[in-house]
Structure 1
Amino acid sequence: MIVIKNVTLRRGTKIVLQDASVTLQPGEKIGLIGRNGAGKSSLFSLLRHRLQSDAGDVSIPPRWLVGEVAQNMPETDQGATEYVLEGDTRLQAANAALVAAEAADDGHAMADAHQEIAEAGGFEARPRAQALLMGLGVRVDQLDDPVNSFSGG
């Protein structure tokens, strides 16, 4: 079993974990969630022996392996809300169709594109993207911060 007992971890002056304890039995599966910067990646770094705790003990049986999937944040200074909106491929295609229709001065194609934008939820897209970000722990004042300003954990 994996035992984390009374672990405290500091990153600079910030206390990331304080007196944290958990025991994971063989076969147990867990999910680790938390706001941006809460210490999720730091906890995995402790388990992978890339970091040492400031206090407490971490015990993993010698034959056990800890696996992880690396979290890589895109190196873009694009705002978080705009980045999420780009992931809505249907809406992006509808917007591109509108731009092309306007460039061709094709009224019928413009009407079709506006209809597709409406059906894709284009009028609610920004608040929906921001709600998604806030559900991940992004604060209102961070919604337009550059994506590369967030931690990957």
Structure 2
Amino acid sequence: MITLRNVTLRRSARVLLDSTSVTINPGEKVGLVGRNGAGKSTLFALLNGSLHEDAGEFHIPAHWLMAQVEQNMPETSESATAFVLDGDSRLTELRAALHEAEVAGDGMAIAQAHSDLADAGFHDATSRAQSLILASAFRYTSWNGR
């Protein structure tokens, strides 16, 4: 579980968290809302280890993996959909395996690659990526580079 016990977190003279305590148990989902500058990104920096609490105790299990998406998409000519899809390393590996099997003309490997892609959700990956984009408030025109 993630535990903050009497945590104080400051940015310059501004206090973002003041003796805050919270426990987030495995499987719980938490949403952070607040105006710009409220400290949401700073709290994530504490969670990912980029920042440390000014006072109190913070604990996250060492064996837990954390992933996050940057707030701003980097400048690229790639569409937002392609950018999100490229972030799925498992699908990228499986597409590469399919390509290698096709180049080699290995029918069994091609069949296995198609099966693996189906199991990994390849066929609805684009719609899932676009749902993520929509939830992230990207403009529709940036989805496909239009």
Alignment gaps of 5+ in structure 2:
1-15, 22-30, 39-53, 55-69
For each residue in 1:11-67, what CA deviation from the matched residue of structure 2 results, as whole angstroms up to 9, or x when unmatched?
xxxxxxxxxxxxx7733599446xxxxx83xx47xxxxxxxxxxxxxxxxxxx9xxx
Alignment partner, residue 107 of structure 1: 107
Within 5 A, what are the aligned runs for 1:1-153? 26-27=18-19, 31-32=32-33, 40=36, 43=37, 73-145=73-145
Structure 1 CA distance for aligned equivalents of residues 17 and 96 of structure 2: 52
Could you state the TM-score of these two structures normalised by the residue count of structure 2? 0.53
Alignment partner, residue 60 of structure 2: none
Change (3 A) 1:140 1:105: same
Change (3 A) 1:71 1:128: closer
Relative contact order higher in (CA < 8 Å, ≥ 6 apart): 1
Residue identity (%): 39
Change (3 A) 1:32 1:98: same
Larger radius of gyration: 1
Report the count of equivalent residues. Answer: 93
Task: Give the match's secondary structure for 2:123.
Answer: coil
Change (3 A) 1:133 1:73: closer
